[in-house]
Amino acid sequence: MAGSNGLHTLGRRYAHITGWGKALPDRIVTNQELEQIVDTSDEWIRTRSGIHQRYIAVDPRENAVTLGTRAAMAALDVADFPVSKLDLLICSTSSPAHLFPSTGSLIQDALGATRAGAFDLSAACSGFVYAISLANAMIVSGQVESVLVIGTEVLSRLIDWSDRNTCVLFGDGAGAVLLQASPVPGGVLSTVLGSDGSGGDLLSVPAGGTSMPTTLETVAAGQHFIKMDGKAVFRFATRIMVEATREALDKASMSIADVNLVIPHQANERIIRSSMKQLDLPDDKVFINLYNYGNTSTASIPIALCEAIEQGRLHSNDNLIMVGFGAGLTWAATAIKWAVPGAREVPRWRVSQRQASYSLARVRSRLLRYSRQVENSLTSEEGDVLGEVLAQRIEGWRKTRDE
């Protein structure tokens, strides 16, 4: 190990965050607007949760794929990374566009990340940090060079808008980071993952899975909406945020005094302040932005990370903690040495080039769908010939694009 004198550790690989981005739907819903639909008050919501407003995807065309894709594109722009080189895409979500195909696969297609494997990860609000842990392991073990980690949620579609216990808390949005392999020491230093399924019933969407398939009765009984025992989750959260942070620090051989910034899951200001107080972390070392977004579940940490960077709260060599908790019950924390230099100017033409490649990806996707339809309508022999011709055309096209 030679990190302290600036030399690279022989043969070791580190996973660094090199790009970040967020995406939000257009519509802001204020607490005052919620006062009009449920028995609540701006005062109650602010004092009990800290939330002032949230973004809601009212446009039916917006979903976990569209938001996640936008956040991913922003992250690739910051990293100035060609999507054609991406190795893996991990999409954390609890409000996927479909049970399957995975939201990750649909984002991979929208980006035209043709080399990348893609899948969804389900660990609720802890999912983003779970995905960082997985990305780190894949990079450090030498299996991949680059991983796009996306947290995307449209929880508003799973909310009972007449249930004041939940509808005032959640919001929609997406955040993404690109992790890349590097010989430079730093990046992800430690990760902690935890789960206690005995608390599964404390925060859940009971129906729509295989244990309670969708029926007229489940729909009528509102079993497809989020149900939460807020008090129990609150108690669990204030304990586990402290424990998970301490464990991540221990594993990274760091102490509280070494921490420059904590980005906690943005569920409730009281949970965050209580946990950070137990850790003896002063307010200026904790980033909170739930006032404007509500609880965006797995998207909350990457959205907050983007905003912390925008506000100049993260500097090169800072020690960053990201810590989350959520349904499952699950929890996760990571200690990161932020080794990315400040904002870099990406030439405009390269951003345009990337945008052109996304348009090409859309055409490619449509063409592939169409060719499958045509193939299905032909005899198997005719289909084989046509499939071969199309495959060659697309391959040629891809090569031209990547050159």
Which strand ranges, in their side-by-side order, compose the sheet holding 117-121? 14-23, 173-182, 146-153, 88-92, 117-121
Please, what is the minimum distance in Å from the beta carbon of residue 104 to ligand UT7?
A: 21
Please, what is the minimum distance in Å from the beta carbon of residue 320 to ligand UT7?
A: 20
Compare residues 203 and 259 and give the one whose CB is closer to ligand UT7.
Answer: 203
Separation of alpha carbons 268 and 291, rounded Å:
9
Please, what is the minimum distance in Å from the beta carbon of residue 341 to ligand UT7?
A: 33
**Which value, in Å, is the radius of gyration of the alpha carbons in the chain?**
22
Catalytic, 125? Answer yes
Strand, coil or helix: 283: helix
Please, what is the minimum distance in Å from the beta carbon of residue 192 to ligand UT7?
A: 17
Compare residues 32 and 392 and give the one whose CB is closer to ligand UT7.
Answer: 32
Residues 6 or more apart from 169 whose CB is under 8 A from it? 49, 51, 267, 268, 294, 295
- At 334, which helix (H) or strand (E)? strand 330-338
* Catalytic-role residue among 63, 295, 306, 319: 295
Compare residues 225 and 338 and give the one whose CB is closer to ligand UT7.
Answer: 225
Compare residues 89 and 301 and give the one whose CB is closer to ligand UT7.
Answer: 301
Residues that bind ligand UT7 (CB under 6 A): 40, 44, 48-49, 125, 164-165, 168, 203, 228, 230-231, 233-234, 237, 267-268, 295, 297, 326
3-state helix, strand, coil in the chain (%, to 5): 45, 20, 30
**Do the Cβ atoms of 50 and 269 come closer than 8 Å?**
yes
Compare residues 275 and 297 and give the one whose CB is closer to ligand UT7.
Answer: 297
* Catalytic-role residue among 16, 31, 91, 125: 125
Six-digit token string for 365: 């996707």
Please, what is the minimum distance in Å from the beta carbon of residue 31 to ligand UT7?
A: 9
Separation of alpha carbons 86 and 88, rounded Å:
6
Separation of alpha carbons 183 and 315, rounded Å:
20
* Catalytic-role residue among 265, 268, 306, 319: 265
Which residue, 157, 241, 238, is CA-closest to 205? 157
Compare residues 71 and 241 and give the one whose CB is closer to ligand UT7.
Answer: 241
Torsion sign (Cα): 210, 216, 217, 220? positive
Please, what is the minimum distance in Å from the beta carbon of residue 34 to ligand UT7?
A: 8
- Looking at the chain, how many residues does it have? 403
Catalytic residues: 125, 265, 295
